[in-house]
Amino acid sequence: MTRIAILGYGTIGKGVAKMIDLLKDKYDLKLAKVLDLPSKKDELGDLLAANIDEIANDESIDIVVEVLGGNDFAYMCTKKCLLAKKSVVTANKEVVSNNIKELYKLAQENGVNYLFEASVGGGIPLIRPLIENIKINDITSICGILNGTTNYMLTKMQEDGLTFAEALKLAQVNGFAEADPSADLKGLDMVRKISILTNIAYKTYIDPKNVYHYGIENVTKDILADIKTRGYVLRFVAQSSLVGNDVTVRVEPTLVKPTHPFASVCNEFNSCMLDCTTNDKILFYGKGAGSIPTATAVAGDIIQIVENKAFYEYNPVNDYEVNKLSNNGNMYYVVGDTSDIKPDLSDEELSKYKFYARIF
Amino acid sequence: MTRIAILGYGTIGKGVAKMIDLLKDKYDLKLAKVLDLPSKKDELGDLLAANIDEIANDESIDIVVEVLGGNDFAYMCTKKCLLAKKSVVTANKEVVSNNIKELYKLAQENGVNYLFEASVGGGIPLIRPLIENIKINDITSICGILNGTTNYMLTKMQEDGLTFAEALKLAQVNGFAEADPSADLKGLDMVRKISILTNIAYKTYIDPKNVYHYGIENVTKDILADIKTRGYVLRFVAQSSLVGNDVTVRVEPTLVKPTHPFASVCNEFNSCMLDCTTNDKILFYGKGAGSIPTATAVAGDIIQIVENKAFYEYNPVNDYEVNKLSNNGNMYYVVGDTSDIKPDLSDEELSKYKFYARIF
């Protein structure tokens, strides 16, 4: 039997508990402990652990699922569990993007797994195919719509004519946007996700703090009407490319033609395209957010561990630098007093406009 | 060291040899034998095996890659190798779709693997994510553009205005279409691929012979112009769905709106969409044909075996029937003396038209 603890009993934690229940007979799983606030005692009963040490010190627990969110406490808990030789499965992109190098090494040293399929692209199988892929390909670029909330908003604005405020409200009502949506709107959520993919794909470590991002807060109905007239669709895109030893990673509004695969990625769906040296382009698409898609990704990682098919594959042999100055060759749609299309603008020049989007 | 034999030294076999060479140091692989005609002696030297027994009886060979094409001889060779306790990796969709039940069982009984990631979707990771997926989801429908040749032709006809004959010629010149392209044009190639996906997804076995297929040979420039006027794009699509105990599998020309994800699948690219009970829709996209994409899929399977992460996962516990009579609720675009759109046509009614396409 594999005994599992869940750290954090919020939307995703509850989804994970549901998946464990669904799979418990087939894979001989048992939910043994849950860490959350004492106020959850009524709901959780004896499952509720008093603190992380109760879980880390419990030798009968094999796998810990970390779905706390936030960095510091979650990082501390992860470290304790790995040191106690428990595999950790997580959906926490903040912890993974900040600490992947250290936590992966710690897992290896302790003979356990640190798996995070759920941290990028929710229910889309993405991390594992990427890891399989780099065994036989080099990847030269990654490009993705990796945030369900903002893609939902942009879809509702462009297809149903909602204002930014209305679209945000609707996203919140439908459970896609957080009460404080700024990490989504400013692109910080995608910074974390593209950093994780970049690290795995290029076998390097980049600090998410060095990733350029420009948000969608200044998008208006007028701007979207103008973009439509010009024959484009607006998407919020994270992009990462490797040229020589330079990694360029940017998260910014992006215009695509209606025939581009990203144009048909609507609502809370996500998509990610890889450019590979032997396989050419590969694209994945699916639900990027929500309790159940994320919980299925966590469940997939648990099954990998149970079946002994998990892996240590993050091996940052390369020491690439994030290059901030490579806008040459790019075309930009810019909005000042009027709108225009211009090539090769620096980040400083771009910052002077009310709004801009890169053109794919 | 893992010693590998390749059966068939054509385009794909050569691609596999190249991949083995590329990966030999990292995964300690060695190409030990190749089975092909005696006329390849100059090219292959001592690698050339005289017959399949020389490979099946060679105890030092661990993995056999079957890329012969065709059914009977390839099936016989596969059987001999599995019985001799060698894992077999194949790209041969004909053998897999016809014999998956028997060959999988044989592999299990002999403690080896029978893997076929390369048989569907070439360089797209598809079989393995599907197998992972069904551990945590039920799949209710599969829908794919799974033939690179015909998608290339339809793209060239719709985007560049080529006639059917010109598009076929161009596909042949560019190495996508076989000298005898009828298996592609009539949809037989997709019948095999959708049968494989159906078998895995629904844990059943369906005989490809029972799968309905209608080809694209009657597409003309006039028909495509009419389809465009009606606001659609023509794609050649394989579809499989499960309702109760009835499996409906059909391969037929299909009209999609320009906003449908399949509309942006152009040229030799393939795409496959799954409807899952918990993950909702998942889509994969990538190069479906060609020596190198196919060889990378074979290489991926080899690495799975080397890393001991391969699996027996085809478990046909369900005994579903292929249902031929479920066109109800479908809309069809039909071309007789004029073109029209009609609901609920039976296959017999459809067969009276010059051309038809299902409307998605």
Question: Nearest chain B Cα to A294, which residue?
Answer: B279
Q: Say which residue the tokens 């990733």 belong to.
A: A211
Find residues 270-329 of chain A whose CB sits inside 8 Å of chain B.
Answer: 271, 276, 278-287, 292-293, 296, 299-300, 303, 307, 309, 311
User: Rounded distance, CA B150 to CA A191, Å?
Assistant: 39
For residue B302, the Cα-to-chain-centroid distance in whole angstroms is: 19
pLDDT of B58 above 90: yes
Find all residues with CB under 8 Å of A266, minimum gap 6, and list them: A151, A155, A159
Which is nearest to A247 in space by CA: A287, A214, A204, A215? Answer: A204
pLDDT in tens, B248-307: 999 999 999 998 999 999 999 999 999 999 889 999 999 987 788 899 999 999 999 999
Strand partners, A236: A253
Residue A328 buriedness (CB in 10 A; 0-12 / 13-18 / 19+): exposed
DSSP string computed for A118-180: GGSSTTS--HHHHHHHTTT--EEEEEEE--HHHHHHHHHHHHH---HHHHHHHHHHTT-S-SS
pLDDT of A312 above 80: no
Candidate from A325-339, B74-88, B157-171 with smallest mean pLDDT: A325-339
Would you state the structure tokens that stand for residue A349, as one six-digit string?
Answer: 């020049």
**Integer CA distances (angstroms), B86 to A69, B2, B61, B77, B301, in order:** 47, 11, 7, 11, 14
- Using an 8 Å CB-CB cutoff, list chain B residues near A278: 19, 123, 292-293, 295-296
pLDDT in tens, A134-193: 999 899 999 999 999 999 999 999 999 999 999 999 999 988 877 789 999 999 999 999
Which is nearest to B93 in space by CA: B198, B248, B185, B179? Answer: B198
Strand partners, A270: A286
Question: Nearest chain B Cα to A20, which residue?
Answer: B136
pLDDT in tens, B217-258: 999 999 999 999 999 999 999 999 998 888 999 999 999 999
Q: Is the dihedral of CA A187, A189, A190, A192 positive or negative?
A: positive
Tell me if A285 and B280 make a contact (CB, 8 A cut-off).
no
Q: Which amino acid is at B231?
A: G
* pTM across the whole model: 0.94
Percentage of chain B lying above the pLDDT 90 cut? 86
pLDDT in tens, A7-60: 999 989 999 999 999 999 999 999 999 999 999 999 999 999 999 999 999 999
Tell me if B129 and A133 make a contact (CB, 8 A cut-off).
no
pLDDT of A116 above 70: yes
Residue B300 sits at φ, ψ, to 5 deg, of -60, -40
pLDDT in tens, A231-276: 999 999 999 999 888 899 999 999 999 989 999 999 999 999 999 9
Q: Which residue has the higher pLDDT, A218 or A174?
A: A218
User: Rounded distance, CA B113 to CA B311, Å?
Assistant: 7
Find residues 251-270 of chain A whose CB sits inside 8 Å of chain B.
Answer: 258-261, 263-265, 269
Would you state the structure tokens that stand for residue B319, as one six-digit string?
Answer: 């005994």
Tell me if B278 and A296 make a contact (CB, 8 A cut-off).
yes
Tell me if A283 and B287 make a contact (CB, 8 A cut-off).
no
The chain-wide mean pLDDT, for chain B, equals 94
pLDDT in tens, B122-142: 889 999 999 989 999 899 999
Q: Is B136 on the interface with A (CB under 8 A)?
A: yes
For residue B93, the Cα-to-chain-centroid distance in whole angstroms is: 6
Tell me if A128 and B124 make a contact (CB, 8 A cut-off).
no
**How many CB atoms sit inside 10 A of residue A102's CB?**
14
Q: Given this model, what pLDDT does residue B325 score?
A: 58
Assembly ipTM = 0.90
Would you state the structure tokens that stand for residue A185, as one six-digit string?
Answer: 């709107």
Q: Given this model, what pLDDT does residue A324 score?
A: 62
Question: Nearest chain A Cα to B263, which residue?
Answer: A259
Q: Given this model, what pLDDT does residue A326 score?
A: 65
For residue B310, name the pLDDT band (cuts at 50, 70, 90).
confident
The residue-averaged pLDDT of B189-214 equals 96
Give the CA-trace dihedral at A132, A138, A139, A140, to 10 degrees. Answer: 180
Chain A to chain B Cβ contacts (< 8 Å): 131
pLDDT of B312 above 80: no
Would you state the structure tokens that stand for residue B350, as one six-digit string?
Answer: 């459809």
Question: Nearest chain A Cα to B128, which residue?
Answer: A129
DSSP string computed for B5-34: EEE--SHHHHHHHHHHHHHHHHHTEEEEEE
Tell me if B287 and A278 make a contact (CB, 8 A cut-off).
no
For residue A325, name the pLDDT band (cuts at 50, 70, 90).
low
Which is nearest to B124 in space by CA: A312, A115, A278? Answer: A278
User: Rounded distance, CA B300 to CA A134, Å?
Assistant: 10
